[in-house]
Amino acid sequence: MSHPSAEPPPSIVSEPLKLGQLAVGSRFFLAPLAGYTSLAFRLSVRELGGLGLATTDLVNARSLIEGRRRAYELAETCPADRPLSIQIYGIVIAEMEQAARWVEGQGAQAVDINMGCPVRKVVRCGGGSALMRETDQAVALVSAIVRSVSIPVTVKMRLGWDDESLTAPALARAFEQVGVAAVIIHGRTRQQGFSGRVNRAGIRAVVEAVDQIPVVANGDVRSIADAATTFRETGCAAISIGRGALANPFFFRQLDSWARTGDPGPEPTFAERITVMRGHFHGLVERRGDKFGCLQFRKILKWYFHFTRMRREYYRQLLNLSSPELFDRVIEEAASAGPEPYAPGERPFEIPVPSGAIDKW
Ligand SMILES: Cc1cc2nc3c(=O)[nH]c(=O)nc-3n(C[C@H](O)[C@H](O)[C@H](O)COP(=O)(O)O)c2cc1C
């Protein structure tokens, strides 16, 4: 990513930020991306610097309190993984309270409630973005969770179910009144899925609806210019970044440097990019074993291919990645071969998102 003429950062970025009692050192947060924002990825990004609060993939509250292995793996953390928010979803108040207490016991600095997920599996049982249509139920749920833990509680939501039902401003205000420490707003409706552009005026309406709590803007921030526009057009206190962080794990470091000095700093070299990829892969394998690490990395490989610019022939050799030894050998060769040159007219990498009729997701 290049930053030809970075706009100066807004003055807000040099002011301290607090979510309830929690002081956060950077206004750039990692958004949850189910299947990607693992502990290994979070640690790789944290090592590069500039990341404020990170959030886990969404975790089902019931699975967590039933002690299911998959839920524990999603919520896995360690002392270097701070500050961390664990995101939970569900609609049964007692289960969500118990899960929030578990999150607090796990040492997380915050608990995030998912009210944004549009995926059918989550919405069908009334969770995720479906909660945005049930205002009273949503407020009762959030209020109960706030009362059950002493760490900050945040809510991540979309602008509403569809354009006719933009409930985020009213909900954010109600959540503030019951003690939520911040809201994170993805500037699209559930009906929109990932299509169209993010609606920054919609996020601004949420900023204007609350009294004091920070509003964290989310959606489509891929460059310093996007971050500058997002601060300017929404009036948000912080920005949460999902796909942009996978496309460029150095993004937080660049944003933080821009926020402090007006300059995003040098582009990461080819060698630095390869080092990050290696660290991420080996972190996954160490924690989850060779088989899981290799399978999961196959999904991420395409992103790294674009990000590192490793030569195509090496990328192809890793498509059926089956062992850490193969990974090390191929990456060693790819590192010595140097980066793939940009083709004339090459378009920036488009990150895949769920598509098609939204009710089929
Ligand atoms: C593959 C994928 C998985 C996601 N998983 C979650 C999730 O677990 N919880 C959540 O609140 N949002 C989830 N989201 C939404 C993102 O957190 C974010 O709101 C959205 O991608 C827009 O931000 P971005 O443009 O910075 O990626 C997911 C998005 C994608 C593409």
* Residue 85 beta carbon below 6 angstroms from any ligand 1 atom: no
pLDDT at 354: 61
9 lines ligand 1 (CB under 6 A): no
Is the CB–ligand 1 distance for residue 249 below 6 Å?
Answer: no
Q: Domain boundaries in the chain?
A: 15-261, 270-337
- Rounded to whole angstroms, the Cα distance separating 112 from 52 reads 15
Q: Which pLDDT belongs to residue 248?
A: 94
CATH hierarchy code of domain 15-261: 3.20.20.70
- How big, in percent rounded to 5, are the helix, strand and coil portions of the chain? 50, 15, 40
Q: pTM of this prediction?
A: 0.94
Q: Which position has the token pair 């929030």?
A: 100
Question: Which protein residue's CA is at the shortest distance from atom 19 of ligand 1?
Answer: 186
Q: Which residues are registered as beta bridge partners of 89?
A: 60
Is the distance from CB of 118 to CB of 61 less than 8 angstroms?
no
Calculate how far, in angstroms, residue 67's C-alpha sits from the geometric centre of ligand 1. Answer: 25
What was the pLDDT predicted at 350? 66
Ranges of the chain whose pLDDT falls below 70? 1-5, 347-361
What separation in Å is there between the alpha carbon of 116 and the centre of ligand 1?
9
Beta-sheet pairing, 153-160 with 84-89: unpaired
Q: Determine whether 38 is exposed, middle or buried from the number of CB atoms within 10 Å of its CB (0-12, 13-18, 19+).
A: buried
Indicate which atom in ligand 1 lies nearest the CA of residue 31: 17
Residue 207 Cβ contacting ligand 1 at under 6 Å: no
H or E segment at 54?
strand 54-60
Residue 127 beta carbon below 6 angstroms from any ligand 1 atom: no
Q: Is 242 in the pocket of ligand 1 (CB under 6 A)?
A: yes
DSSP helix/strand/coil, 184 = strand
Q: What is the pLDDT of residues 336-349, one digit of tens each?
A: 999 988 777 776 66
What was the pLDDT predicted at 3? Answer: 57
Give per-residue burial for 279-290: e unless 16+ CB within 10 Å, then b: bbbbbbbebbeb
33, 154, 158, 299: residue to mutate for ligand 1 pocket, most atoms within 8 A of CB? 33
- Does the beta carbon of 187 lie inside 6 Å of ligand 1? no
Mind telling me the catalytic residues? Answer: 117
CA of 313 to the centre of ligand 1 (A): 31
pLDDT at residue 319, as a whole number: 94
How many angstroms does the Cα of residue 338 sit away from the middle of ligand 1?
A: 32
CA of 32 to the centre of ligand 1 (A): 6
Work out which ligand 1 atom sits closest to the CA atom of 353.
31
Contact, 64 vs 102, CB < 8 A?
yes
Q: What is the pLDDT at residue 260?
A: 94
